[in-house]
Structure 1
Amino acid sequence: MTPRLVEIPASDIESLDRIGRLRSRAWRTETAFTGNADVWLDEHDSVAAHFAFVVEDDPVAAARLTVHQSVHDVPHAAIQDHAFRVEPPLPVGYLSRLAVDPEYRRQGLGTRLDEVRIERSIELGCGSLVARPVDDRRVRQLEALGFVIVGRCKAIETGPVRAEGHPVMLKVL
């Protein structure tokens, strides 16, 4: 069955729970993943725009967008603050929590979710976007969409992914 793109309201707790399960299932295959939870959600999910590809209402790929009035307000900003000597154009959209079920990878779902989040950021009037990809493939995908590396992450002590040394990327809209 072909996955269908949907937007998930932050108030849809049941769908967010399914996205949290997808994150955990998908990220367990990644070397940077350090979490052990069956459902991976955080406080930012309740205020984010969520997009997902679903098959029979079950997410097979999902990603979120949060919007912030400063680059220093994005989740876990302390690991990237050194990369921004000057505030980028505001507000700042933050692309995060991309997860694709291993059985649905290499079908362009992640790239399409990036495109949808960029489009929504423009609609919301964002001046720039920030992302912190965890592997070289994601870096190349984001570079193809106009992102540039502006620094590297410091060590992170919380969250599901080891981020030390991962790129901090910026796209000015």
Structure 2
Amino acid sequence: METRFEIRNSEFLLMKLDYPERLDEMGALRVLAWKDEQGISQDFFSHNAWLDDEDLLAHHWVILHNKEIVAAARMSFHNDYQSIPHADLFDGSILESYGTGPYASLNRLVVAPGFRGNGFSALLDEARIQYAATHGVRLIIAQPVASRIKPLEDLGFLYLGKIRPLYQMPERQIYFMIKELANNL
């Protein structure tokens, strides 16, 4: 899947990557974009890249500008709630009224500081939601920061509460949201 678009006379490309293409670049972008954010661990973000085991199993989307990754996001699929990244930081019993998976989890959305404000987060969210809907997912889990709650609500996510902070971002509040996919295609 590739989508070309233009913003202020600059061309961009939204694409889903084939595994394990460009993981190191995405990990480096995460550090670049988040290292100076309020509430993060300076020790953790002193590394060159932020990658974890889930990156090897997940699906990844990027937005390229002049062949450089300027935004990225991942989504992983899960048969049970316990295998979702950071599931231990939120009371999964709250999900009982929604039934069981399969689940998709949206995470690691990042936009390079110089490219923020162009709607890249929305484009990456929509691409991941569409992909989940066409691959048998019933429920999508998101664990956003406060500034992402409203955009996700606009896409049909429901706010369910706060989760305990991640050790990488000990002073940054993370929230828990869910979206039911009614019609899998």
TM-score (norm 2): 0.84
Whole-angstrom distance in 2 between the partners of 1:167 and 1:68: 19
Choose 1 or 2 for highest CA Rg.
Answer: 2
Whole-angstrom distance in 2 between the partners of 1:80 and 1:66: 18
Equivalent residue pairs, number: 168
Match of 2:127 in 1: 116
2:177 aligned counterpart, secondary structure: strand
Whole-angstrom distance in 1 between the partners of 2:83 and 2:94: 12
Q: Give the share of equivalent positions with the same residue, in percent.
A: 31
Q: Residues 89 and 172 of structure 1 are in contact (CA less than 8 Å); yes or no, is this contact kept in structure 2?
A: no
Structure 1 position 156, deviation (Å):
3.4
Aligned ranges 1:1-173 → 2 under 5 Å: 1-12=10-21, 15-34=22-41, 35-36=44-45, 37-82=47-92, 84-86=94-96, 88-135=99-146, 137-157=147-167, 160-162=168-170, 165-173=173-181
Structure 1 counterpart of 2:177, which letter?
Answer: M
Whole-angstrom distance in 2 between the partners of 1:76 and 1:147: 18
1:162 aligned counterpart, secondary structure: coil
Gaps of 5+ in 2: 1-9
CA deviation string 1:44-67 (max 9, x = no partner): 011111000011221100000000
Structure 2 counterpart of 1:166, which letter?
Answer: I
Aligned-residue CA RMSD (Å): 1.8
Structure 1 position 165, deviation (Å):
4.5
TM-score (norm 1): 0.89
Whole-angstrom distance in 1 between the partners of 2:13 and 2:95: 40
Change (3 A) 1:84 1:139: same
CA deviation string 1:22-56 (max 9, x = no partner): 11111123224323222111000111110000112
Whole-angstrom distance in 2 between the partners of 1:133 and 1:10: 25
Gaps of 5+ in 1: none
Whole-angstrom distance in 2 between the partners of 1:101 and 1:95: 18
